[in-house]
Structure 1
Amino acid sequence: MRYSIVLPFIAVTVFAAPLEERQAACKVPTTFPTTANSKLPNPFKFFDGTDVKTKADFECKNKEVSAAIQNQELGVFPTTAKTTATYSGGTLSITASDNGKSTSFTVSIKGASAANSPAIIAYGAASIPVPAGVATIVFNNDQIGAQQGQASRGKGKFYDVYGADHSAGALTAWAWGVDRIIDALEATTGHNIDTKKIGVTGCSRNGKGAFVAAALVNRIALGIPQESGSGGAACWRVSDSEKAKGKNIQTASQIVTENVWFSKNFNAFSTKANTVATDHHQLAGMVAPRGLIVIENEIDWLGPVSTTACMKAGRLIYKALGVPDNMGFTGSGNHGHCSFPSNQQADLTAFINKFLKGQDANTANIEKGPTADVASYIDWTAPTLT
């Protein structure tokens, strides 16, 4: 890429290195802070104390955040798998190989009636209304990484390849599965899917998974996590604060006993989540500047104050990058868990139209939820990154 800077009496042509080259120059640490801090970690400061001043700096910061969250919370996300695939009659058959081991699975594709259709990968089944013109790819994430309690750790097709003792929790295993689905779509024809316009969604535990997939798989154009609560849109630190106020809310200390969504590494932080180097406003930041619409339900267990404050902080990251309207969050009460109320429809439609259908849709200033003062949870100010 090149662009010109016009100065008095002189024009200077500057060659900007490609994204991959700039990111390769990033220095990513292998050890991460564990200092207690009740405030949400500063997404604009490197762990060594250096300020993030430019968008190129932020690309490097995101690599640092990804490494930290994989090390402390999610487990390692493998990026070396080789994928082969075939497509026939609405079924995409996928074989993934790594380290001399292979596994196979299938996904179904419905609704791709026209060439270059956008698509939404739905964990389990779509609990959001998928509009006409957008295909649905149904992903049985449970077969990739089991989630039936503590006894299911290390079980599933991901672990058939990488071993039962791999550090990845189920959320990371599922994201790896999403990555393989996109590989397979790119390698096959006949399905009519535009691989540049892929969304991912899921609700509740699968909403956590959809959020993590959007963060780790940078080919996702739009993340649509629904009612992901703790482990998704909620910040660990804010949830602990709400719990201390008497709220019936899921926290890190509970979530690690319930299921195997997170790495075993996270157990060491579960009772001291304020020592984790990152928090989930930065999970949203890992999606930036790509599209992200966070759909929540004002159920105490999901942490409506925590999700709202956390996503407000996440949206500050988007604002710093100059794309505030690429992220929105919408909370709504008085409806069943994983049902979809009509008062969230317009926000969802706008994001799908903009990021999957390529339309000129208004996604500005979508911040809806209970009262939550994000300023009380941060001690940093978002800069304008150049």
Structure 2
Amino acid sequence: MLGAVEHSGAACRDPALPALAALPATAALPDPFVMADGQRLTRKADWACRRHEVSRQLQAYELGEKPAPVPGSVSGKLDGKTLTVTVSTGGRSISFNANVQLPSTGQAPYPAVIGIGRSFLNNAELLARGVAVIDFPNNDIADQQNGSSRNKGKFFELHPEAQGTGALVAWAWGVSRLVDALAQGAAPAIDARHLGVTGCSRNGKGALMAGALDERIALTIPQESGSGGSAAWRVSDAQKVAGQNVQTLRQIVTENVWFRSSFGEFSEAAARLPYDHHQVLALVAPRGLLVIENTAMEWLGNQSAWVSALAAREAWVALGVADGMGASQFSHPDHCRLPAEQSPEVLAFVDRFLKGTPAKTDIVRTDGKFAVDRQRWMPWSTPALK
């Protein structure tokens, strides 16, 4: 189920990408099993092209374009704990450094978890389990201090034509170039076939995009990623209307440069997006995905993230691998601290998808006591794909 290439649907037909005014408003979460031409999915073999359609829509309307790799343009060199990745194109070149922590147990080559910025999981537990931890320098690739950070970072030095692109997709591009270097053997002690990606809060949004847009990543764990991550724009709007203090599309585009500069046109029109973030989560299918959220953080769209996760999981159900996707919500006061109650769930997914050992990953639980109106949000049916 792990992809051998970054994007298996590259040869699929692109969907139409109408301007905002020509997009119909859809109150429910869009049906993930209907192709852009209206045909309903019946075969597992068609999932790659459905993923391609949603990926193109996501990049066109929300993120900005993720540049395709140029063969032979990436190299890597490990010096101690520092892996230097160099990328060249169009006569320009950039380098960035990723910190590599190897475990003292187990046997090389080791599976590894890439942390956007750094990992907020229990890294001591990961290392003790024989899993390496790699820190990815996302702010070096695309800055995210505030709205004035637009177009700053090494991604934009290498791709000056990408002005207006959001930081999240720039980070996803950078993680893919790191994976390229690892696949070439730049760090021989790392098993490039068993890589995970994680991050918390804003960096959790980046972790989701990295895993969604690169099929070589075996496991994706966005942690408390909230709006713009695991939460669905439409459901967050409904939470806001209900009087809750939730971050919506309208607000988030004014906060930072995570999204493409034109995404603000959807501030009052999230229902016109031809996709929502349940489909962004589903871009990971059938690979491993564990969504970690905190019900104490209303601002992050706690209920929205739960509804989105339930809707996304139907993609794994349709593909016959329901236990490949998990969702765990647990209330605690400290943002970006993984509580002891969720640590075993993380380790179960790590064991199964990174170490290849049996583990129970059929995890779908929340302490939020959310009433989910499936008829409102998921009025579509889930096919059993052949």
What count of residue pairs does the alignment treat as equivalent? 369
Shift of 1:126: 1.7
| Counterpart secondary structure, 1:177 | helix
Shift of 1:19: 9.4
Contact 1:146 1:170 in 2 (8 A): yes
User: CA 1:286–1:155 in 2, change beyond 3 Å: closer, same or farther?
Assistant: same
Contact 1:85 1:93 in 2 (8 A): yes
Within 5 Å, which residues of 2 pair with 1:1-386? 23=9, 26-32=12-18, 34-81=23-70, 82-113=73-104, 114-130=107-123, 131=126, 132=128, 133-163=130-160, 165-298=162-295, 299-370=297-368, 371-375=370-374, 376-386=376-386
In structure 1, C-alpha distance between the alignment counterparts of 2:157 and 2:10, rounded to whole Å: 30
Letter in 1 for 2:343: Q
Q: Deviations over 1:229-279 (max 9, x none)?
A: 000000000000110000100000000000000011211112211101110
| Counterpart secondary structure, 1:363 | coil
Larger CA deviation: 183-192 vs 220-229: 183-192
User: CA 1:190–1:76 in 2, change beyond 3 Å: closer, same or farther?
Assistant: closer
Shift of 1:365: 4.0
Q: Deviations over 1:201-241 (max 9, x none)?
A: 11000000001101011111000100000000000000001
Letter in 2 for 1:100: G
| Counterpart secondary structure, 1:46 | coil
In structure 1, C-alpha distance between the alignment counterparts of 2:373 and 2:278, rounded to whole Å: 11
In structure 1, C-alpha distance between the alignment counterparts of 2:299 and 2:7, rounded to whole Å: 43
In structure 2, C-alpha distance between the alignment counterparts of 1:154 and 1:295, rounded to whole Å: 30
In structure 2, C-alpha distance between the alignment counterparts of 1:55 and 1:178, rounded to whole Å: 27
Larger CA deviation: 371-380 vs 178-187: 371-380
In structure 2, C-alpha distance between the alignment counterparts of 1:162 and 1:19, rounded to whole Å: 22
Letter in 1 for 2:14: V
Contact 1:290 1:326 in 2 (8 A): yes
Contact 2:328 2:363 in 1 (8 A): no
Letter in 2 for 1:105: F
Shift of 1:29: 2.1
Contact 2:76 2:186 in 1 (8 A): no
Which residue in the other structure is 1:5 paired with? Answer: none
- Tell me, which stretches of 5 or more residues in structure 1 are unaligned? 1-17
Shift of 1:22: 8.3
| Counterpart secondary structure, 1:242 | helix
Contact 2:7 2:214 in 1 (8 A): no
Shift of 1:166: 2.9
Shift of 1:123: 1.5
Shift of 1:26: 2.6
In structure 1, C-alpha distance between the alignment counterparts of 2:134 and 2:170, rounded to whole Å: 18
Q: Which has the larger radius of gyration?
A: 1
In structure 2, C-alpha distance between the alignment counterparts of 1:232 and 1:28, rounded to whole Å: 24
In structure 2, C-alpha distance between the alignment counterparts of 1:178 and 1:367, rounded to whole Å: 30
Letter in 1 for 2:258: W
| Counterpart secondary structure, 1:60 | helix
In structure 2, C-alpha distance between the alignment counterparts of 1:182 and 1:171, rounded to whole Å: 17
In structure 1, C-alpha distance between the alignment counterparts of 2:11 and 2:76, rounded to whole Å: 33
In structure 2, C-alpha distance between the alignment counterparts of 1:55 and 1:227, rounded to whole Å: 30
In structure 2, C-alpha distance between the alignment counterparts of 1:20 and 1:348, rounded to whole Å: 24
Tell me the TM-score normalized by structure 1: 0.92
Q: Deviations over 1:110-143 (max 9, x none)?
A: 0244311010111222211132211010111001
In structure 2, C-alpha distance between the alignment counterparts of 1:183 and 1:19, rounded to whole Å: 10
In structure 2, C-alpha distance between the alignment counterparts of 1:27 and 1:345, rounded to whole Å: 41
In structure 1, C-alpha distance between the alignment counterparts of 2:224 and 2:9, rounded to whole Å: 32
Larger CA deviation: 28-37 vs 248-257: 28-37
Letter in 1 for 2:378: I
| Counterpart secondary structure, 1:225 | strand
Between the aligned residues of both structures, percent identity stands at 45
User: CA 1:167–1:99 in 2, change beyond 3 Å: closer, same or farther?
Assistant: farther
What RMSD in Å do the two structures reach over aligned CA positions? 1.9
Contact 1:230 1:302 in 2 (8 A): yes
Shift of 1:187: 2.1
User: CA 1:43–1:21 in 2, change beyond 3 Å: closer, same or farther?
Assistant: closer
